[in-house]
Amino acid sequence: MEGNLLLLFIVLAGVAVIFLWLRPGAARRWARLRRARSRAQAEDALKHLHACEWRKDCATPTSLAGTLGISLKDATSLIARLEAQGWLTSTEGGLRLTPEGEQLALNVIRAHRLWERYLADEARMPLTAIHDEAERREHARTDWELDALDAALGHPQTDPHGDPIPTAEGMLEHRGSHPLTDWPLNTPARIVHLEDEPPAVYSQLVAEGFHLGQVVRIIHASPQRLVLSDGDEGHTLAPAIAANIFVVAEAPARPEPAMPTLASLRVGQRATVRNLDGSLQGFTRRRLLDLGLTPGTTVTVAMRSFIGDPVAYRVRGSLVALRREQAAKVFVEDVLEGEGI
């Protein structure tokens, strides 16, 4: 009985395969899928080599197999294919990118980091989710599409984790940051990069509230833990976790008076737009400018929604609704009590 069922299953599976194969375009779709997978694997391999060289390290067949999640045999075959295409060289010391391979790797890295910028700033995806989505999108690209995305985002210099974004010409800025574990005690440091791999460590850093631009200092260090302070809260991290935070020296702060924003105004107050927060980039910045929120424009708080967010503002004779987080990015001056809306 079991033998008959197995035979029936094999026959039905064979019929299904033949049916799918004979469908119009099935063979072409299958071929395109195989080419796309092969291209993605090759580009991921080049990214691994670039990451190793960026760290002054050297990639090996074993490290490549581990990164791509493939066998050492498959990794060796992939290396031979990439070497035949002129993208890498294999020596006793390890694997090295050729100039052509480096340019292709930088192109993929540029796509990945631009997509991360878009997903974080415009699609407003959680920071812990953007890496995987950018990994999927980075392989389906053209130079024209990347240039258009770069321009639409306002030519950002870094991705949401603080990694520099390569230029269209393949230039990548080297930043002199240091892992927090190498930083001296009681010395202010500004966070410029949060390593997003492994994902579990990055998720912990985000959950702890760490972010780019944050100023921290180490107040206690031991082989088991680092105790940090950002001026408001304390954080205790294992050194293996803290090593994923990269910092630079923080210049002495110059006291500046607090500048009001649209979010700080009450209903009926009016003020003049001074400027937009420098962190606003791309589509969001362009939308606020298109709404008339340019320097020198008078804005009046017209009304608040029942729950207080969003808020309606009168700008150049029109009502504009802004979320609180958007209004907090618009700096104003000359705040006055309105005499009517």
Residue-wise pLDDT tens digits, 66-102: 999 999 999 999 999 999 999 999 988 899 999 999 9
Picking from 38, 62, 97, the residue at the C-terminal end of a domain is 97
pLDDT at 251: 72
Classify residue 172: in a domain, yes or no: no
Classify residue 150: in a domain, yes or no: no
CATH code of 70's domain: 1.10.10.10
Please list the alpha-helical segments (H only) found in the chain: 2-22, 26-54, 61-68, 72-84, 99-121, 130-137, 143-152, 199-208, 239-242, 282-290, 324-327
Q: For 46, what's the count of Cα atoms within 13 Å in the CB-facing half-sphere?
A: 26
- Residue 277 sits in the same domain as residue 232: no
Q: 117-145, pLDDT tens digit by residue?
A: 999 988 889 999 999 999 999 998 888 99
Picking from 249, 279, 308, the residue at the C-terminal end of a domain is 249
Mean pLDDT of 226-252: 90
CATH code of 306's domain: 2.30.30.90
Q: 289-309, pLDDT tens digit by residue?
A: 888 888 888 999 988 877 778
- Residue 270 sits in the same domain as residue 297: yes
- Residue 212 sits in the same domain as residue 294: no
Q: What percent of the chain has pLDDT over 90?
A: 50
- Residue 232 sits in the same domain as residue 281: no
Classify residue 110: in a domain, yes or no: no
Domain count, the chain: 3
pLDDT at 340: 45
CB-based contacts of 335, cutoff 8 Å, min separation 6: 260, 265, 269, 270, 271
| Band (288; pLDDT cuts 50, 70, 90) | confident
Q: pLDDT averaged over the chain? A: 86
Classify residue 133: in a domain, yes or no: no
Classify residue 30: in a domain, yes or no: yes
- Residue 239 sits in the same domain as residue 270: no
- Residue 194 sits in the same domain as residue 275: no
Classify residue 58: in a domain, yes or no: yes
pLDDT at 292: 86
| Band (341; pLDDT cuts 50, 70, 90) | very low
Mean pLDDT of 276-286: 76
Q: Assess whether the previous peptide bond of 156 is cis (omega < 30° from 0).
A: no
Range(s) of the domain holding residue 321 = 262-337
- Residue 15 sits in the same domain as residue 92: yes
- Residue 284 sits in the same domain as residue 328: yes
Classify residue 103: in a domain, yes or no: no
For 125, the token pair is 């995806």
Classify residue 13: in a domain, yes or no: yes
Burial state string for 292-331 with b = 16 or more CB within 10 A and e = fewer than 16: ebeeeeebbbbeeeeeeebbbbbbeeeebebeeebbebbb
pTM value is 0.73
Picking from 189, 215, 249, the residue at the C-terminal end of a domain is 249
- Residue 192 sits in the same domain as residue 225: yes
- Residue 91 sits in the same domain as residue 26: yes
